[in-house]
Structure 1
Amino acid sequence: MITKSISAVASALCILALLSSGAVVAAEPQYSGFIENYPDLKSDPRNPGAMIWEKPGLDRSAYSAVMIETIDIFIHPQSKYKGIDANDMKAISDAFYKDIVDVLEPDIPVVSKPGPGVLVVRLAITNVHLKKKKRGLLGYTPVGLVVTGMQDLAGKRVRLMDATLEGESFDGQTGERLAVVVDTQADLPGKKGEKPSWDQIAKTLRSYAERFRSEALKR
Protein backbone atom coordinates (compact mmCIF):
# COMPACT_ATOMS: atom_id res chain seq x y z
CA MET A 1 0.00 0.00 0.00
CA ILE A 2 1.32 3.41 -0.94
CA THR A 3 1.13 5.94 1.87
CA LYS A 4 1.30 9.72 1.62
CA SER A 5 1.46 11.81 4.78
CA ILE A 6 0.31 15.40 4.50
CA SER A 7 -0.15 18.32 6.83
CA ALA A 8 -3.38 19.65 8.26
CA VAL A 9 -6.92 18.34 7.79
CA ALA A 10 -10.20 17.63 9.21
CA SER A 11 -10.79 15.88 12.49
CA ALA A 12 -14.42 15.43 13.33
CA LEU A 13 -14.60 11.82 12.18
CA CYS A 14 -13.28 10.64 15.54
CA ILE A 15 -15.50 13.13 17.32
CA LEU A 16 -18.50 11.26 15.96
CA ALA A 17 -17.59 8.27 18.08
CA LEU A 18 -17.70 10.43 21.20
CA LEU A 19 -21.30 11.31 20.41
CA SER A 20 -22.61 7.94 19.27
CA SER A 21 -24.46 5.40 21.37
CA GLY A 22 -26.92 2.55 20.97
CA ALA A 23 -24.87 0.79 18.31
CA VAL A 24 -25.88 -2.63 17.02
CA VAL A 25 -23.80 -5.58 15.87
CA ALA A 26 -22.82 -5.55 12.17
CA ALA A 27 -20.47 -7.32 9.80
CA GLU A 28 -16.82 -6.53 10.35
CA PRO A 29 -15.46 -4.04 7.77
CA GLN A 30 -12.13 -4.34 6.00
CA TYR A 31 -9.46 -2.53 8.00
CA SER A 32 -6.45 -0.72 6.56
CA GLY A 33 -4.14 -1.07 9.57
CA PHE A 34 -4.10 2.68 10.25
CA ILE A 35 -5.54 2.06 13.71
CA GLU A 36 -3.63 -0.31 15.96
CA ASN A 37 -5.68 -3.02 17.69
CA TYR A 38 -9.10 -2.25 16.27
CA PRO A 39 -11.71 -2.58 19.03
CA ASP A 40 -15.06 -4.33 18.69
CA LEU A 41 -16.82 -1.87 16.40
CA LYS A 42 -20.61 -1.65 16.14
CA SER A 43 -22.69 -0.09 13.38
CA ASP A 44 -24.01 3.41 14.02
CA PRO A 45 -27.80 3.43 13.49
CA ARG A 46 -27.69 7.18 12.85
CA ASN A 47 -24.92 6.94 10.26
CA PRO A 48 -25.27 4.16 7.64
CA GLY A 49 -21.84 2.92 6.60
CA ALA A 50 -20.15 3.97 9.86
CA MET A 51 -18.77 1.61 12.52
CA ILE A 52 -18.03 3.00 15.97
CA TRP A 53 -16.58 2.20 19.38
CA GLU A 54 -16.31 4.38 22.46
CA LYS A 55 -14.91 3.90 25.94
CA PRO A 56 -17.64 2.70 28.32
CA GLY A 57 -18.83 5.49 30.58
CA LEU A 58 -17.15 8.18 28.49
CA ASP A 59 -17.97 11.69 29.74
CA ARG A 60 -18.43 13.70 26.55
CA SER A 61 -18.72 16.98 28.43
CA ALA A 62 -15.12 16.74 29.69
CA TYR A 63 -13.63 17.94 26.39
CA SER A 64 -13.80 21.58 25.38
CA ALA A 65 -11.05 21.77 22.73
CA VAL A 66 -9.75 19.67 19.84
CA MET A 67 -6.20 18.98 18.63
CA ILE A 68 -5.88 17.62 15.08
CA GLU A 69 -2.89 15.47 14.19
CA THR A 70 -1.45 15.05 10.69
CA ILE A 71 -3.61 13.00 8.37
CA ASP A 72 -2.40 9.88 6.54
CA ILE A 73 -3.56 9.02 3.03
CA PHE A 74 -3.52 5.34 2.03
CA ILE A 75 -3.83 4.73 -1.71
CA HIS A 76 -5.13 1.24 -2.45
CA PRO A 77 -2.69 -0.95 -4.43
CA GLN A 78 -5.43 -1.63 -6.98
CA SER A 79 -6.17 2.05 -7.56
CA LYS A 80 -6.28 2.93 -11.27
CA TYR A 81 -4.09 5.95 -10.55
CA LYS A 82 -1.44 6.32 -7.86
CA GLY A 83 0.51 9.36 -9.02
CA ILE A 84 -1.39 12.08 -7.21
CA ASP A 85 0.77 15.10 -6.53
CA ALA A 86 1.52 15.89 -2.88
CA ASN A 87 0.61 19.54 -3.46
CA ASP A 88 -2.77 18.52 -4.85
CA MET A 89 -3.51 16.34 -1.84
CA LYS A 90 -2.40 19.05 0.58
CA ALA A 91 -4.73 21.53 -1.13
CA ILE A 92 -7.68 19.16 -0.69
CA SER A 93 -6.57 18.42 2.87
CA ASP A 94 -6.31 22.10 3.76
CA ALA A 95 -9.84 22.66 2.47
CA PHE A 96 -11.13 19.86 4.73
CA TYR A 97 -9.30 21.35 7.70
CA LYS A 98 -10.72 24.83 7.09
CA ASP A 99 -14.25 23.45 6.82
CA ILE A 100 -13.96 21.76 10.22
CA VAL A 101 -12.37 24.74 11.94
CA ASP A 102 -15.07 27.04 10.55
CA VAL A 103 -17.75 24.79 12.09
CA LEU A 104 -16.08 24.33 15.49
CA GLU A 105 -14.65 27.75 16.25
CA PRO A 106 -15.01 30.01 18.12
CA ASP A 107 -17.18 27.82 20.38
CA ILE A 108 -14.84 24.80 20.29
CA PRO A 109 -11.18 25.92 19.98
CA VAL A 110 -8.86 23.96 17.70
CA VAL A 111 -5.51 23.89 19.52
CA SER A 112 -1.97 22.82 18.67
CA LYS A 113 -0.99 21.05 21.92
CA PRO A 114 -2.56 18.30 24.04
CA GLY A 115 -3.60 18.91 27.63
CA PRO A 116 -6.48 18.66 30.11
CA GLY A 117 -9.85 18.94 28.40
CA VAL A 118 -8.34 18.48 24.94
CA LEU A 119 -9.54 15.79 22.55
CA VAL A 120 -6.63 14.58 20.41
CA VAL A 121 -7.76 13.27 17.02
CA ARG A 122 -6.01 11.10 14.42
CA LEU A 123 -7.61 10.76 11.01
CA ALA A 124 -6.86 8.91 7.77
CA ILE A 125 -8.45 8.52 4.38
CA THR A 126 -7.82 4.87 3.54
CA ASN A 127 -8.54 2.42 0.71
CA VAL A 128 -8.37 5.35 -1.70
CA HIS A 129 -9.09 4.58 -5.36
CA LEU A 130 -8.27 7.38 -7.79
CA LYS A 131 -8.71 8.08 -11.48
CA LYS A 132 -6.82 10.76 -13.35
CA LYS A 133 -8.99 13.27 -15.18
CA LYS A 134 -8.28 14.63 -18.65
CA ARG A 135 -6.55 17.98 -18.93
CA GLY A 136 -8.73 21.00 -19.47
CA LEU A 137 -8.21 23.80 -21.96
CA LEU A 138 -5.67 25.60 -19.76
CA GLY A 139 -3.94 22.40 -18.68
CA TYR A 140 -1.99 22.37 -15.43
CA THR A 141 -0.04 25.53 -16.07
CA PRO A 142 0.63 28.47 -13.73
CA VAL A 143 -2.12 30.29 -15.61
CA GLY A 144 -4.51 27.49 -14.76
CA LEU A 145 -3.56 27.79 -11.10
CA VAL A 146 -4.34 31.49 -11.10
CA VAL A 147 -7.71 31.03 -12.80
CA THR A 148 -9.07 28.11 -10.77
CA GLY A 149 -7.23 28.25 -7.45
CA MET A 150 -5.17 25.37 -6.10
CA GLN A 151 -7.96 23.67 -4.15
CA ASP A 152 -10.33 23.57 -7.12
CA LEU A 153 -7.59 22.48 -9.49
CA ALA A 154 -6.61 19.56 -7.28
CA GLY A 155 -10.14 18.19 -7.41
CA LYS A 156 -10.25 18.64 -11.18
CA ARG A 157 -7.00 16.74 -11.72
CA VAL A 158 -7.88 13.61 -9.77
CA ARG A 159 -11.27 11.96 -9.33
CA LEU A 160 -12.01 10.07 -6.13
CA MET A 161 -13.52 6.67 -6.97
CA ASP A 162 -13.68 5.13 -3.49
CA ALA A 163 -12.39 5.79 0.04
CA THR A 164 -12.87 5.00 3.72
CA LEU A 165 -12.56 7.45 6.60
CA GLU A 166 -10.86 6.11 9.74
CA GLY A 167 -10.20 7.94 12.96
CA GLU A 168 -9.54 7.63 16.66
CA SER A 169 -9.50 10.05 19.57
CA PHE A 170 -7.48 10.20 22.77
CA ASP A 171 -7.53 12.05 26.07
CA GLY A 172 -5.10 14.94 25.71
CA GLN A 173 -3.78 14.51 29.25
CA THR A 174 -3.61 10.74 29.82
CA GLY A 175 -3.28 9.48 26.25
CA GLU A 176 -6.10 6.98 26.82
CA ARG A 177 -8.01 6.00 23.70
CA LEU A 178 -11.58 7.21 23.85
CA ALA A 179 -13.23 6.44 20.54
CA VAL A 180 -12.75 4.84 17.12
CA VAL A 181 -14.74 5.23 13.91
CA VAL A 182 -14.50 3.62 10.47
CA ASP A 183 -16.81 5.19 7.86
CA THR A 184 -17.08 3.58 4.43
CA GLN A 185 -19.18 6.46 3.06
CA ALA A 186 -21.77 3.86 2.01
CA ASP A 187 -25.56 4.10 1.92
CA LEU A 188 -25.68 7.84 2.50
CA PRO A 189 -29.17 9.34 2.07
CA GLY A 190 -29.62 10.40 -1.53
CA LYS A 191 -26.26 8.90 -2.48
CA LYS A 192 -27.23 5.26 -3.04
CA GLY A 193 -25.17 3.81 -5.87
CA GLU A 194 -23.04 6.94 -6.22
CA LYS A 195 -19.28 6.96 -5.87
CA PRO A 196 -17.67 9.01 -3.06
CA SER A 197 -16.36 12.43 -4.00
CA TRP A 198 -14.10 15.00 -2.34
CA ASP A 199 -17.20 17.15 -1.76
CA GLN A 200 -19.07 14.25 -0.18
CA ILE A 201 -16.22 13.61 2.27
CA ALA A 202 -16.11 17.31 3.14
CA LYS A 203 -19.87 17.35 3.81
CA THR A 204 -19.57 14.27 6.01
CA LEU A 205 -16.80 15.83 8.06
CA ARG A 206 -18.75 19.07 8.47
CA SER A 207 -21.76 17.06 9.63
CA TYR A 208 -19.66 15.30 12.29
CA ALA A 209 -18.22 18.62 13.45
CA GLU A 210 -21.68 20.16 13.71
CA ARG A 211 -22.90 17.23 15.81
CA PHE A 212 -19.94 17.51 18.17
CA ARG A 213 -20.32 21.28 18.46
CA SER A 214 -24.03 20.96 19.24
CA GLU A 215 -23.39 18.30 21.91
CA ALA A 216 -20.46 20.16 23.46
CA LEU A 217 -22.45 23.38 23.83
CA LYS A 218 -25.01 21.57 26.00
CA ARG A 219 -22.53 21.11 28.86
Structure 2
Amino acid sequence: MNWKLLALPLCLTALTLTGCASKYVEPEKYSGFLKDYSALEEDKSPTGAPVMRWIQPDLNVNRFTSVYVEPSQLYPQPQPTEKIPAITLQGITQYYDQALKTQFSKALPLATGPGPGVLVVRPAITAVSASTKGLQPYEVIPIALIAAGVSTATGIRDQDTSIATEAAFLDGSSGQVVAEVVRKGAGAELENSSQVMQAKDARAVLDGWASDMLKSFQALKRR
Protein backbone atom coordinates (compact mmCIF):
# COMPACT_ATOMS: atom_id res chain seq x y z
CA MET A 1 0.00 0.00 0.00
CA ASN A 2 1.21 3.51 -0.81
CA TRP A 3 1.22 5.23 2.59
CA LYS A 4 1.82 8.64 1.03
CA LEU A 5 -1.39 8.41 -0.97
CA LEU A 6 -3.25 7.31 2.15
CA ALA A 7 -1.73 10.02 4.31
CA LEU A 8 -2.80 12.88 2.04
CA PRO A 9 -6.58 12.51 2.49
CA LEU A 10 -6.06 11.85 6.20
CA CYS A 11 -4.10 15.09 6.50
CA LEU A 12 -6.79 16.97 4.64
CA THR A 13 -9.40 15.48 6.95
CA ALA A 14 -7.41 16.50 10.01
CA LEU A 15 -7.06 20.03 8.70
CA THR A 16 -10.78 20.20 8.02
CA LEU A 17 -11.62 19.09 11.54
CA THR A 18 -9.09 21.29 13.34
CA GLY A 19 -8.86 24.32 11.06
CA CYS A 20 -5.65 25.71 9.67
CA ALA A 21 -2.81 24.60 11.89
CA SER A 22 -1.01 27.48 13.52
CA LYS A 23 2.37 27.85 15.14
CA TYR A 24 0.62 30.05 17.69
CA VAL A 25 -2.09 29.20 20.20
CA GLU A 26 -5.32 30.13 18.45
CA PRO A 27 -7.59 32.65 20.24
CA GLU A 28 -10.32 30.03 20.60
CA LYS A 29 -7.83 27.92 22.57
CA TYR A 30 -7.08 30.64 25.13
CA SER A 31 -7.85 29.28 28.59
CA GLY A 32 -9.12 32.41 30.33
CA PHE A 33 -6.17 32.41 32.75
CA LEU A 34 -4.99 35.83 31.60
CA LYS A 35 -7.19 38.83 32.32
CA ASP A 36 -6.84 40.41 28.88
CA TYR A 37 -5.86 38.80 25.57
CA SER A 38 -6.76 41.73 23.34
CA ALA A 39 -3.27 43.26 23.22
CA LEU A 40 -1.41 40.03 22.43
CA GLU A 41 0.55 40.09 19.18
CA GLU A 42 2.44 37.48 17.19
CA ASP A 43 6.13 37.60 18.00
CA LYS A 44 9.24 35.44 18.29
CA SER A 45 10.94 34.30 21.47
CA PRO A 46 14.69 34.92 21.88
CA THR A 47 15.30 31.47 20.40
CA GLY A 48 13.00 32.12 17.45
CA ALA A 49 9.93 30.20 18.64
CA PRO A 50 6.51 31.65 17.81
CA VAL A 51 4.73 33.27 20.76
CA MET A 52 1.80 35.53 21.40
CA ARG A 53 2.84 38.27 23.79
CA TRP A 54 2.38 41.79 25.06
CA ILE A 55 4.87 43.98 26.93
CA GLN A 56 3.96 47.32 28.48
CA PRO A 57 5.43 49.90 26.06
CA ASP A 58 7.12 52.03 28.72
CA LEU A 59 8.18 49.13 30.93
CA ASN A 60 11.42 49.72 32.81
CA VAL A 61 12.46 46.35 34.23
CA ASN A 62 15.46 47.90 35.96
CA ARG A 63 13.14 48.95 38.76
CA PHE A 64 12.76 45.29 39.75
CA THR A 65 15.31 44.17 42.30
CA SER A 66 13.98 40.66 42.97
CA VAL A 67 11.57 38.13 41.45
CA TYR A 68 8.79 36.00 42.92
CA VAL A 69 7.65 32.94 40.97
CA GLU A 70 4.13 31.97 41.98
CA PRO A 71 3.35 28.24 42.01
CA SER A 72 2.24 27.36 38.50
CA GLN A 73 -1.37 26.37 38.01
CA LEU A 74 -3.18 23.82 35.87
CA TYR A 75 -5.81 25.96 34.18
CA PRO A 76 -8.55 25.08 33.55
CA GLN A 77 -8.49 22.28 36.10
CA PRO A 78 -8.06 19.12 34.00
CA GLN A 79 -9.54 15.68 34.38
CA PRO A 80 -6.63 13.23 34.57
CA THR A 81 -6.78 10.16 32.34
CA GLU A 82 -4.94 6.85 32.13
CA LYS A 83 -2.82 8.41 29.39
CA ILE A 84 -2.04 11.60 31.34
CA PRO A 85 -2.50 10.79 35.06
CA ALA A 86 -2.64 13.27 37.93
CA ILE A 87 0.93 12.49 38.99
CA THR A 88 2.14 13.57 35.54
CA LEU A 89 0.25 16.86 35.66
CA GLN A 90 1.52 17.55 39.17
CA GLY A 91 5.07 16.71 38.10
CA ILE A 92 4.84 19.09 35.15
CA THR A 93 3.85 22.05 37.31
CA GLN A 94 6.50 21.26 39.91
CA TYR A 95 9.22 21.06 37.29
CA TYR A 96 7.98 24.26 35.62
CA ASP A 97 8.23 26.09 38.95
CA GLN A 98 11.79 24.91 39.48
CA ALA A 99 12.84 25.72 35.91
CA LEU A 100 11.51 29.28 36.23
CA LYS A 101 13.22 29.81 39.58
CA THR A 102 16.50 28.41 38.27
CA GLN A 103 16.48 30.72 35.27
CA PHE A 104 15.26 33.94 36.90
CA SER A 105 17.64 33.53 39.83
CA LYS A 106 20.45 34.09 37.31
CA ALA A 107 19.26 37.68 36.95
CA LEU A 108 17.54 38.56 40.23
CA PRO A 109 17.40 37.30 43.82
CA LEU A 110 14.34 35.17 44.53
CA ALA A 111 11.70 36.82 46.71
CA THR A 112 9.28 35.03 49.03
CA GLY A 113 6.27 37.05 47.90
CA PRO A 114 5.06 40.19 46.12
CA GLY A 115 6.20 43.61 47.25
CA PRO A 116 7.95 46.81 46.17
CA GLY A 117 10.62 46.16 43.58
CA VAL A 118 9.45 42.58 43.04
CA LEU A 119 8.66 41.16 39.60
CA VAL A 120 5.93 38.57 40.02
CA VAL A 121 5.86 35.68 37.53
CA ARG A 122 2.41 34.05 37.40
CA PRO A 123 2.54 30.92 35.18
CA ALA A 124 -0.02 28.32 34.16
CA ILE A 125 -0.04 25.12 32.17
CA THR A 126 -3.12 25.48 29.98
CA ALA A 127 -2.98 22.37 27.80
CA VAL A 128 -1.46 18.91 27.83
CA SER A 129 -2.06 16.44 25.03
CA ALA A 130 -0.71 13.02 24.10
CA SER A 131 -2.67 12.43 20.89
CA THR A 132 -4.90 14.23 18.43
CA LYS A 133 -7.60 14.10 21.10
CA GLY A 134 -6.34 15.79 24.25
CA LEU A 135 -7.94 16.27 27.62
CA GLN A 136 -11.27 18.07 27.49
CA PRO A 137 -11.44 21.04 27.71
CA TYR A 138 -7.69 20.79 28.15
CA GLU A 139 -6.88 20.46 24.44
CA VAL A 140 -4.39 21.85 21.95
CA ILE A 141 -3.66 20.45 18.50
CA PRO A 142 -0.36 21.88 17.22
CA ILE A 143 1.14 21.25 13.81
CA ALA A 144 3.07 18.20 15.05
CA LEU A 145 -0.16 16.48 16.04
CA ILE A 146 -1.59 16.71 12.51
CA ALA A 147 1.10 14.24 11.48
CA ALA A 148 0.57 12.29 14.69
CA GLY A 149 -3.10 11.92 13.78
CA VAL A 150 -2.11 10.24 10.53
CA SER A 151 0.31 7.93 12.30
CA THR A 152 -2.30 6.95 14.87
CA ALA A 153 -4.78 6.12 12.13
CA THR A 154 -2.30 4.06 10.13
CA GLY A 155 -0.39 2.60 13.07
CA ILE A 156 2.98 3.44 11.51
CA ARG A 157 4.39 6.07 13.91
CA ASP A 158 4.75 6.97 17.56
CA GLN A 159 2.51 9.47 19.29
CA ASP A 160 3.55 13.06 19.93
CA THR A 161 2.94 15.01 23.12
CA SER A 162 2.23 18.73 23.36
CA ILE A 163 1.89 21.32 26.08
CA ALA A 164 0.89 24.99 26.28
CA THR A 165 1.44 27.79 28.75
CA GLU A 166 0.12 31.23 29.59
CA ALA A 167 2.02 33.55 31.93
CA ALA A 168 1.48 37.02 33.34
CA PHE A 169 4.20 39.24 34.76
CA LEU A 170 3.16 41.73 37.43
CA ASP A 171 4.56 44.64 39.36
CA GLY A 172 4.71 43.22 42.89
CA SER A 173 3.94 46.61 44.42
CA SER A 174 0.86 47.63 42.45
CA GLY A 175 -0.32 44.29 41.08
CA GLN A 176 -0.35 45.81 37.59
CA VAL A 177 0.23 43.41 34.71
CA VAL A 178 3.33 44.52 32.78
CA ALA A 179 3.67 41.63 30.31
CA GLU A 180 1.89 38.50 29.09
CA VAL A 181 2.86 35.52 26.97
CA VAL A 182 1.06 32.54 25.42
CA ARG A 183 2.90 29.72 23.66
CA LYS A 184 2.93 26.00 23.00
CA GLY A 185 5.51 23.34 22.32
CA ALA A 186 6.07 19.67 21.54
CA GLY A 187 7.16 17.21 24.20
CA ALA A 188 8.88 13.87 23.80
CA GLU A 189 7.41 11.21 21.53
CA LEU A 190 5.68 8.26 23.15
CA GLU A 191 6.56 4.84 21.82
CA ASN A 192 2.96 3.73 21.32
CA SER A 193 -0.64 4.55 22.10
CA SER A 194 -0.57 2.63 25.39
CA GLN A 195 2.48 4.40 26.85
CA VAL A 196 1.61 6.74 29.72
CA MET A 197 2.90 10.30 29.45
CA GLN A 198 5.29 11.25 32.27
CA ALA A 199 6.39 14.65 33.54
CA LYS A 200 9.89 14.05 32.19
CA ASP A 201 8.46 14.00 28.67
CA ALA A 202 7.78 17.75 29.02
CA ARG A 203 11.02 18.80 30.71
CA ALA A 204 12.82 20.00 27.58
CA VAL A 205 9.86 22.21 26.66
CA LEU A 206 9.58 23.65 30.16
CA ASP A 207 13.32 24.35 30.31
CA GLY A 208 13.10 26.13 26.95
CA TRP A 209 10.19 28.30 28.05
CA ALA A 210 11.92 29.32 31.28
CA SER A 211 15.16 30.08 29.45
CA ASP A 212 13.35 32.22 26.88
CA MET A 213 11.57 34.17 29.62
CA LEU A 214 14.89 34.99 31.25
CA LYS A 215 16.42 36.03 27.92
CA SER A 216 13.43 38.28 27.22
CA PHE A 217 13.85 39.91 30.63
CA GLN A 218 17.57 40.43 30.05
CA ALA A 219 16.87 41.97 26.63
CA LEU A 220 14.48 44.45 28.26
CA LYS A 221 17.16 45.43 30.75
CA ARG A 222 19.51 46.32 27.88
CA ARG A 223 17.12 48.38 25.82
Q: Same fold (TM over 0.5)?
A: yes
For the Cα contact (< 8 Å) 1:49–1:185, is it kept in 2?
A: no
Deviation, 1:77, is 7.3
Deviation, 1:173, is 0.5
Q: Distance in 1 between matches of 2:41 and 2:28?
A: 10
Secondary structure in 2 matching 1:51? strand
Query: Which residue in the other structure is 1:32 paired with?
Result: 31
For the Cα contact (< 8 Å) 2:163–2:184, is it kept in 1?
A: yes
Amino acid at match of 2:66: A
Higher helix proportion, which one? 2
Deviations 1:138-159 (A, max 9, x none): xxxxxxxxxxxxxxxxxxxxx9
Q: Distance in 2 between matches of 1:217 and 1:36?
A: 25
Deviation, 1:182, is 0.4
Deviation, 1:168, is 0.6
Change (3 A) 1:160 1:168: farther
Secondary structure in 2 matching 1:184? strand
Query: Which residue in the other structure is 1:63 paired with?
Result: 64
C-alpha RMSD of matched pairs (Å)? 3.5
Amino acid at match of 2:205: I
Structure whose CA Rg is larger: 2
Query: Which residue in the other structure is 2:19 paired with?
Result: none
Structure 2: tracts of 5 or more residues without a match: 1-24, 132-158, 187-200
For the Cα contact (< 8 Å) 2:61–2:217, is it kept in 1?
A: no
Secondary structure in 1 matching 2:185? coil
Query: Which residue in the other structure is 1:208 paired with?
Result: 212
For the Cα contact (< 8 Å) 2:66–2:117, is it kept in 1?
A: yes
Structure 1: tracts of 5 or more residues without a match: 1-25, 132-158, 187-196
Deviation, 1:199, is 2.4
Deviations 1:110-168 (A, max 9, x none): 2121111111121111122247xxxxxxxxxxxxxxxxxxxxxxxxxxx9722211011
**TM-score for both structures, normalised by structure 2:** 0.57
Deviation, 1:213, is 6.1
Change (3 A) 1:102 1:122: closer
For the Cα contact (< 8 Å) 1:108–1:213, is it kept in 2?
A: no
Deviation, 1:107, is 4.2
Identity fraction in percent: 26
Amino acid at match of 2:71: T
Equivalent runs, 1:92-131 vs 2, <5 Å: 92-105=92-105, 107-130=107-130
Q: Which structure has the higher relative contact order (CA within 8 Å, separation 6+)?
A: 1
Task: Determine whether 1:199 maps to 2:200.
Answer: no
Query: Which residue in the other structure is 1:73 paired with?
Result: 74
For the Cα contact (< 8 Å) 2:31–2:76, is it kept in 1?
A: no
Size of the aligned set, in residue pairs, is: 157
Deviations 1:41-81 (A, max 9, x none): 11113443310011221112121211122222147979875
**TM-score for both structures, normalised by structure 1:** 0.58
Change (3 A) 1:199 1:85: same
For the Cα contact (< 8 Å) 1:39–1:53, is it kept in 2?
A: no
Amino acid at match of 1:33: G
Query: Which residue in the other structure is 1:84 paired with?
Result: 85
Secondary structure in 2 matching 1:56? coil
For the Cα contact (< 8 Å) 1:81–1:130, is it kept in 2?
A: no
Higher strand proportion, which one? 1
